[in-house]
Structure 1
């Protein structure tokens, strides 16, 4: 597997992968539609990062983003892998690369994510990577999505991803 940086040519994969998992479990919200339709404007041009994971044949099988929400704070968001890639380690590889990128962003002190209890496999992946459930993150940012009932924080100063 290879990690690829965002290019405008990969924007359709970002949208398709995320729309698939969101529609499978939830309903696309206005915020989702905006970010998925305008990833450069909503994420990259604001100092964020979008990464992709490709299989050995070069096919994009997953994506995720770090979206700035306020100075020093980024949200791990829009992370998903294709149905065929689930269980292959693609999600773990992508998550490790996103954590590494968050550490490299200047001035970032808080990395968090918002999710739903319905996403059990993803929550276990985040916990294994070192994310912890955080009531303060839920109170501050949890209202961003109707589907959010889980908020987690990652200590960027901890060793390893």
Structure 2
């Protein structure tokens, strides 16, 4: 596991990476939905201002290569969302340390529920989530699954 990855909090200077990194993987596998475009083009308004957080992973040679957000859905309930790593950094083991960092940050927040929404096509990501404490949840699917057309997997973090 790389120890030279640096995790950076959201800043306006880094906002462009939130768009480019996520747009890359979404368009590789799916198509951008209106909810994606809104959040990715104005992360301050859609994530930060309502009480969410965004982090970036910076590789010493490649620069900013990953991002992940916690989107506040309601009091104490957050969605882990828009986690992505650039194609150039895939295989460098950036995703798991980023996920673990965001989970550690989430545990320091006043939170009763941490969940995520994904798609069965994202098998590598689903495996990563399962390995790091997320379990499939029909309750989360019923409550939040309609947020994206592509959502057919909902998971809840078991450590909160």
TM-score interval for Structure 1 and Structure 2 normalised by the shorter chain: over 0.9
Structure 1 runs (4+) greater than 3 angstroms displaced: none
Query: RMSD value over aligned CA atoms?
Result: 0.9
CA distance in 2, matches of 1:5, 1:156: 23
Is 1:94 the counterpart of 2:94? The answer is no
CA distance in 1, matches of 2:88, 2:130: 23
Is 1:152 the counterpart of 2:155? The answer is yes
1:126 counterpart residue number: 129
TM-score scaled to structure 1, two decimals?
0.94
* Deviations, residues 66-103 of structure 1 (Å, cap 9, x unaligned): 00011110000000000121121100011011101111
* Greater fraction of residues in helix: 1
TM-score scaled to structure 2, two decimals?
0.95
Among 47, 51, 63, the alignment partner of 1:47 is 51
Aligned residues: 156
Among 17, 22, 37, the alignment partner of 1:18 is 22
Q: Structure 1 pair 33/49, CA: closer, same or farther in 2 (3 Å)?
A: same
2:71 counterpart residue number: 67
Is 1:30 the counterpart of 2:34? The answer is yes
For structure 2, the residue ranges without an aligned partner over 5 or more in a row are none
Give 1:155 shift. Answer: 2.1
Is 1:84 the counterpart of 2:79? The answer is no
For structure 1, the residue ranges without an aligned partner over 5 or more in a row are none
